[in-house]
Chains A and B, each alone.
Chain A
Amino acid sequence: MKLREKIESGRFVVTAELGPPKSCNGSVIRKKTAHFRKGISAVNITDNQTAIVRLSSIASAKIVLEEGLEPIIQLTCRDRNRIAIQSDLLGAAALDIENVLCLTGDYQTFGNHPEAKPVFDLDSVQLIATARMMSDGFFLSGEKMKTAPDFFIGGGANPFADPLDFRVLRLAKKIRAGAQFIQTQPVFDLDRFNEWMHGVRELGLHEQTTILAGVMPVKSVKALLYMKADVPGMRIHEDYIRRMERAEEPKEEGVRIAVQIIQELRKIEGVKGIHLMPLLWESITPRILEESGLMERE
């Protein structure tokens, strides 16, 4: 069953994130997909995340597709203007990749080529609308296409960045532009996430799109502290930092925290899935799914 069909049938879905390597070695991707074979509906392929040059997301998605998994390509506005974006979208559609997650993209000064020219010809709302327009059979110029692609369009959301009210409003904008599913930043602060979801439910947005809440298992307290200090727009509850600090086996504690967050998220009205981000720790995916009871649904 495809991701689109699963989501449309109202099932609780799990997606996972896979970062392509900093080389042309495609077998790295093949290896990583092994951990996502069971319980995962689709695999997100990041698009040069944190502005570090990596194997292209569309090429990686093709490899994932060959491995028998369903990819979701991430597409950022950082490196492409409207011509390249539309061309890449057509290319993805030609390779049978239909899930697209439209993001603004991290600024290049975070990456390994900080001197690069920022493009940002479109913003993420306009990118979603562009994918929608192409699915309707038109280029941005208004010219009609001979064969229209059929994208399943996603958008990002960060419930943890300020101001909270604007985050809900922006989600509404993305949905109006055509976002069929939403993947959020990793949740490490359930109170704030609940507050955001409350705003989302108030406007009835959870019924117009499918919200997949982000969950990131961490190996050590260092990862949490790094995210708190250096990843913009992240919010991490003190409790988790304290628990990771005190834990004798931080890896075990990391799994426990992730499982606990997943269980809390499943109780929230309007959360229809989980987006797992096991950065550099793909191998833990099956265990987390098992322990949080998401495996047996298959």
Chain B
Amino acid sequence: MNKNRLLSPIVTLERKKPTRLERFLSRVMLFGEDCIKVPLFRCQHCGECILSHTAFICSQRCPKRSRNGPCGGTGENGTCEVYPERKCIWYLIYRRAKLLNRISLLKRTESIHNWNLEKTSAWLNVFRKRIEPPVIFLRKRDRD
């Protein structure tokens, strides 16, 4: 239909009520994910993880929660316009992406955030095919 896929194609509202076991499992999953992602990446629980596209720095730490790159306010030496004492998260992402040869992943147009996935486990969402799986290893020809 449209070339720029902006919204995830999956129906976003749960039709079926989850059973108690399912709810329990998803909470356990979320806890496990938080234990790893919060200390390592300061995960913001968007549930639609694009960490692997952004050189393993969480882009959702950006005050404007941009998923497609920096706004026009990055100052000299990469300071954030909202919090000048911090570095622009996209500045850090770009620097590391260059180091890891993962610039090609930054060229993707990320789809609009599905707010129904907020505060759910991204791992579970991958498993349930609600979001794309992460790109952990990049083939040699895709690197640049």
Contact = CB atoms under 8 A, between A and B. Distances in A.
Interface in A129-177: 129-130, 132-133, 136, 138, 140-142, 156-158, 161-163, 165-166, 169-170, 172-173, 176-177
Contacts of B72: 104, 156-158, 161, 185, 232-233
B111 to A, nearest CB: 8
Contacts of B7: 140-142
Nearest to A139: B7
Given A132-B4, A140-B112, A173-B109, A165 B75 contact: no
Nearest to B97: A166
B90 interface: yes
Nearest to B98: A165
B67 A123 contact: yes
Nearest to B77: A162
A126 interface: yes
B78 interface: yes
A45 B2 CA distance: 30
Interface stretch (A114-122, A263-271, A289-297): A114-122
A107 interface: yes
Interface size class, chain B: 35 or more
Q: Say what secondary structure dominates the interface of chain B.
A: loop
Interface string B53-87: 00000000001111111111111111101101000
Interface in A199-239: 232-233, 235
Given A104-B71, A158-B72, A233-B75, A169 B2 contact: no
A124 interface: yes
Contact of B69 (A125, A156, A232): A125
Given A133-B6, A169-B103, A176-B109, A120 B65 contact: yes
Contacts of A172: 107
B95 interface: yes
Contact of A163 (B66, B68, B78, B112): B78
Nearest to B112: A126
A156 B69 CA distance: 13
B2 A136 contact: yes
Contact of A233 (B74, B90, B106): B74
Contacts of B78: 162-163
A123 B68 contact: yes
Given A136-B2, A169-B107, A232-B81, A161 B73 contact: yes
A150 to B, nearest CB: 16
A261 B61 CA distance: 37
A178 interface: yes
Which of B68, B70, B75, B84: most chain A Cβ within 10 A? B68
Interface of A: 77, 82, 104-107, 109, 118, 120-126, 129-130, 132-133, 136, 138, 140-142, 156-158, 161-163, 165-166, 169-170, 172-173, 176-178, 185, 232-233, 235
Interface of B: 1-2, 4, 6-7, 63-79, 81-82, 84, 88, 90-91, 94-95, 103, 106-107, 109-113, 115
25 contacts: A118-B64, A121-B113, A123-B64, A123-B65, A126-B67, A126-B110, A129-B6, A129-B109, A133-B2, A133-B4, A138-B2, A140-B6, A142-B1, A142-B2, A156-B72, A157-B72, A161-B72, A162-B76, A163-B78, A169-B107, A177-B109, A178-B4, A232-B84, A233-B72, A233-B75
Given A124-B71, A142-B1, A232-B72, 9 more contacts: A104-B64, A123-B71, A161-B74, A166-B69, A166-B94, A169-B106, A176-B4, A177-B4, A235-B76
